[in-house]
Every structure is written in C-alpha cells, then in structure tokens.
C-alpha cells in the first residue's frame, strides 16, 4: 500500500478531555473513562453537560501575557502544536520556515470571546468592546499563532468543514506535501465552542444528549443514544514526506496513505440516508491508498452518539466492509470535539495501530439492533493493517483518512 506522496506522521500533540498530552489522552480512551460532567458555565442552558480539558491552565502553559491575548481555541491549538513539534524532535530555530506550513481545522473559531464582547456591547458600552476581539475571535488566528510560535512561514490556513475540519486539515496538509509546496506541515484541529450561546444552539437543534447522568450520555451506536456531548480540545500532527522523514532519521509514528473528501449535497444537518457521500469518501481514501476494503482492519468511526449519524454511518460500514473490521468511537470518552475531533481521532487511530489495541466505545452496552457492525465494547487486540478515521460535518462534508502504522 502506498498513497500519493507517502506522507509520514513524525510528531503527535493532543489536548483532549482525556487530559493534556498524548499519553494522558490515550490512557483515558483506552480505559473507557468518560470525561463528561455538569458544566457550571452552562448551568442555565437547556443542556448543561460537556467535556472540558481537565486542568487546562493557559497562563501556566503559555505565560500570562500570551494567554490573555488568545481565545481558548488558539490556546488549545498552541499547546497541542508545542507537544507535536517536541515529539518530532524538530529544531525550529534551524528549519527553513518558508517550507513549513500550518493547516488547522476549526468549526467555530473564537466564539467564547465573541460572546463575551457582545455582552460588553449590549450591557456596558459599544466603545468598551476590546480591541483584541478580532485578533482573538477570527478562525484563522489558530494557524497564524502557531506560525508565529515556530516561525512557520509557508502556506498557512484554517479550514472549516464543521465537525470534519480536523480531518480535512490533515488531507489538505497531505496535498501540500505531495505537491511539494512544503517540507513540513503542522496539521490538526482545535475547538472551544462550549460557550453558552453556541451550546444553546446545539441544544435547540436537538443535537445534544439530554441525559441527566453525564458519564453515560455519550454512547455511540447504543440503542439508548440520544445525542452528542459537546467537548473542547485540539490535536496537531507533524507531517512530512516519508522519504524526507527517513532521510532525516526521524521516528515515524504512522503514515497517511489516503484521503477522501466528499459532500452529501443533501441537507444542512441530516446525513444522506443512503450514505452515498460517506461511501464515496471511503472509496476515495482506499483508492488513494492503493488498498481494497479487505485491507481495512479497524475503523475509528465518527460515531457521535446521535441517533441518525450512528445509524447511517453503521449502515455504510456494514455495506462497504462486509468482513466486519472492528469499529470504535472514542467519543464515548471524549465527547464530540467538533473541529478538533477528526485530528484527535486520527491520533487515536494511529496509536491503536502502534499499540495493537482498539479502545472501547465507552458507555455503549447494547447495540442498536439496526446496527450490524462489530463495535468494540471493550479494549480489543487488533492486527496491523489499514485504519479508517471517519469525520462528517453539519453542512454535509465528509472526510475519511486511511492511516497505517510506520
């Protein structure tokens, strides 16, 4: 199997509701420990549970002055990027910054800052709105601030495909490397949309779980699932051409072999009931990887725990992968990190191959009888092969990554 450009993942960075750092995040998903809790910020909301990153102290992690001028979605991205760059052993003082790109996915940018400043406008004085509002709120600041941190002067952008954004970013980064626009790309996703107005909007859509027990709310593919649990987080991967990574003697943590991107062109929030867009994205990712469906040993599903997503996704997987590779959704633990989810789950999918064990779909006890796929209900050993990481966004965007261990 070889994808276009044969792209290596040489560094990983993760800030999730499972904890700060790759090790903490992986331990949490492997243990199947749900991160959901009642959220005091959302106390008056129709749904008041969320998954926050435990112990995230931006002043301690980034310095007080720096943290003060950044929205949380950028703070999360910077911490993840620092871990990824360190993990890759990159010397950012010595690299050719013009050949280093940054592609970050985010569905909503700095909504928390926007909401807070809108309150100043309405309740205090329009002239008192912070001059930092736009430098903190604009979505592209996630990539811009990562570039400033490391002197990455190549192509730089934030991409938005809602809850597929993190996977889209990795796909675009792969393309930049394959077309020789960059030698290194820091790619990932970040999201901090747990502000009251955004979460009230999700609740009013009927997208969120209404369960009283936070720890049981996110239960992908379960018969009693009733919506997702909102989460924050960030993930960044260092991507390089495999030949470059090997020549530089870097440790290869995994490979991006294929990427499929499609749109349902169907409905703003409901998936196409026939799953044609998802199927086409899987086919495209496999074709790029030079693989067949039989090569797939595991799927890290989008698996949001919403009634419709999980049903349609499972039906597509049952049709496309009749050999029943083991499927998991790490959202049972992390909740739904939205624009960060695709990148964080790509990291989890790679770690699944590295460690040879599929993490459980937490909280899921009885599968929906209409769902005819093998869902990992406990941590389960898996053989080496191709892993698919699925991500789908409101708006109908589908992004599928085909990944493998080094």
Please list the active-site residues. Answer: 163, 302, 336
CB of 391 to another protein, least distance (A): 35
CA distance 399 to 283: 11
Q: What's phi and psi for 395, nearest 5 deg? A: 105, -15
Task: Please report how close the Cβ of residue 274 comes to another protein at its closest, in angstroms.
Answer: 50
Structure tokens of 272? 């196409």
Q: Is 68 in the site for another protein (CB under 8 A)?
A: yes
Q: Rank residues 140 and 380 by Cβ distance to another protein and give the closer one.
A: 140
Strands (E), 200-287: 233-241, 254-263
**Residue 131 lies near another protein (rule: CB under 8 A):** yes
* Of residues 59 and 96, the one with the C-beta less far from another protein: 59
Q: Which stretch binds another protein (CB under 8 A): 128-136, 148-156, 205-213, 216-224?
A: 128-136
Size of the site for another protein (CB under 8 A): 11
Instruction: Decide if residue 140 touches another protein (CB under 8 A).
Output: no
- In whole angstroms, the minimum distance from the beta carbon of 69 to another protein comes to 8
Q: Which of 44, 65, 249, 369 binds another protein (CB under 8 A)?
A: 65
In the complex, least distance from residue 79 CB atom to another protein, rounded to whole angstroms:
17
Residue 350 parent element (H or E): helix 341-355
Q: Please identify which residue in the block is written with the tokens 């006890």.
A: 365
Instruction: Decide: 326 and 41 in contact? Cβ < 8 Å.
Output: no
Nearer to another protein, 66 or 99 (CB): 66
Rounded to 5 degrees, what are φ and ψ at 263? -125, 140
* Spatial CB neighbours of 324, under 8 Å, sequence gap ≥ 6: 373, 374
Output the CA–CA distances (angstroms, integers) from residue 1 to 118, 130, 330, in the order listed: 51, 52, 26
For the bound state, the minimum distance from the C-beta of residue 128 to another protein, rounded and expressed in Å, comes to 6
Name residues contacting another protein, limited to 34-63 (CB under 8 A): 59
Cα separation of 77 and 340, whole Å? Answer: 9
**Binder among 61, 132, 200, 287 for another protein (CB under 8 A):** 132
Quick one: which segment of 125-133, 149-157, 183-191, 203-211 binds another protein (CB under 8 A)?
125-133
Provide the 8-state DSSP code for 80: H
24 or 67: whose CB is closer to another protein?
A: 67
116 touches another protein (CB under 8 A): no
Which of 46, 128, 223, 384 binds another protein (CB under 8 A)? It is 128
Q: How far is the CB of 96 from another protein (least distance, A)?
A: 28
User: Can you tell me the distance from the alpha carbon of 87 to that of 10, in angstroms, rounded to the nearest whole number?
Assistant: 8
Toward another protein, which CB reaches closer, 34 or 75? 75
Residue 150, token pair as written in the block: 């490391």
Smaller CB distance to another protein: residue 67 or 318?
67
CA gap 178, 143 in Å, rounded: 20
> With binding defined as CB under 8 A, does residue 119 bind another protein?
no
Comparison of 149 and 345: residue with beta carbon closer to another protein = 149
Dihedral pair phi/psi, residue 218, rounded to 5°:
-90, 105
The pair phi, psi for residue 339, each rounded to 5°, is -65, -15
> Quick check: 64 binds another protein (CB under 8 A)?
yes
Rg, C-alpha atoms of the chain: 20
User: Binding to another protein by residue 118, rule CB under 8 A?
Assistant: no
CA distance 406 to 403: 10
Extended strands (E) in 112-180: 156-159
State yes or no: residue 138 binds another protein (CB under 8 A). no
With vertex at residue 82, the alpha carbon angle to CA 80 and CA 83, rounded to the nearest 5 degrees, is: 65
Q: Near another protein by CB under 8 A, which window of 24-32, 67-75, 329-337, 387-395?
A: 67-75
> In the complex, which residues of this chain contact another protein (CB under 8 A)?
59, 64-65, 67-69, 128, 130-132, 135
């Amino acid at each position: 199997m070889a994808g276009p450009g044969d792209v290596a993942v040489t560094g990983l960075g993760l800030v999730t509701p499972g904890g700060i750092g790759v090790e903490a995040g992986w331990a949490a998903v492997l243990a199947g420990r749900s991160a959901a809790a009642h959220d005091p910020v959302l106390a008056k909301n129709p749904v008041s549970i969320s998954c926050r990153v435990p112990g995230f102290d931006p002043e301690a992690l980034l310095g007080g002055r720096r943290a003060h001028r950044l929205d949380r979605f950028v703070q999360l991205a910077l911490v993840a990027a620092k871990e990824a760059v360190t993990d890759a052993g990159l010397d950012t003082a010595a690299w050719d910054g013009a050949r280093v790109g940054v592609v970050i996915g985010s569905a909503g940018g700095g909504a928390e800052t926007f909401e807070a400043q809108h309150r100043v406008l309405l309740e205090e004085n329009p002239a008192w709105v912070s001059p930092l509002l736009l430098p903190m709120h604009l979505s592209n600041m996630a990539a811009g601030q990562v570039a400033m941190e490391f002197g990455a002067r190549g192509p730089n952008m934030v991409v938005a495909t809602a809850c597929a954004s993190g996977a889209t970013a990795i796909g675009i980064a792969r393309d930049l490397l394959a077309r020789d626009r960059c030698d290194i790309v820091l790619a990932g996703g970040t999201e901090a949309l747990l502000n009251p107005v955004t979460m009230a909007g999700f609740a009013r859509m009927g997208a969120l779980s209404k369960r009283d027990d936070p720890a049981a709310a996110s239960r992908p593919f379960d018969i009693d699932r009733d919506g997702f649990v909102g989460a924050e987080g960030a993930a960044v991967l260092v991507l390089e051409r495999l030949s470059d990574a090997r020549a530089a003697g870097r440790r290869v943590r995994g490979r991006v072999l294929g990427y499929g991107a499609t749109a349902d062109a169907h409905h703003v929030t409901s998936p196409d009931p026939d799953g044609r867009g998802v199927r086409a994205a899987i086919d495209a990712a496999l074709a790029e990887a030079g693989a067949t469906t039989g090569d797939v040993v595991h799927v890290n599903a989008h698996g949001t725990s919403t009634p419709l997503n999980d049903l349609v996704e499972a039906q597509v997987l049952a049709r496309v992968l009749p050999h029943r590779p083991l499927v998991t959704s790490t959202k049972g633990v992390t909740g739904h990190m939205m624009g960060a989810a695709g990148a964080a789950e790509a990291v989890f999918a790679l770690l699944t191959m590295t460690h040879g064990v599929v993490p459980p779909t937490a909280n899921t006890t009885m599968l929906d009888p209409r769902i005819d796929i093998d869902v990992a209900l406990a941590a389960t050993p898996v053989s080496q092969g191709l892993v698919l990481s699925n991500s789908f966004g409101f708006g109908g965007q589908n992004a599928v990554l085909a990944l493998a261990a080094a």
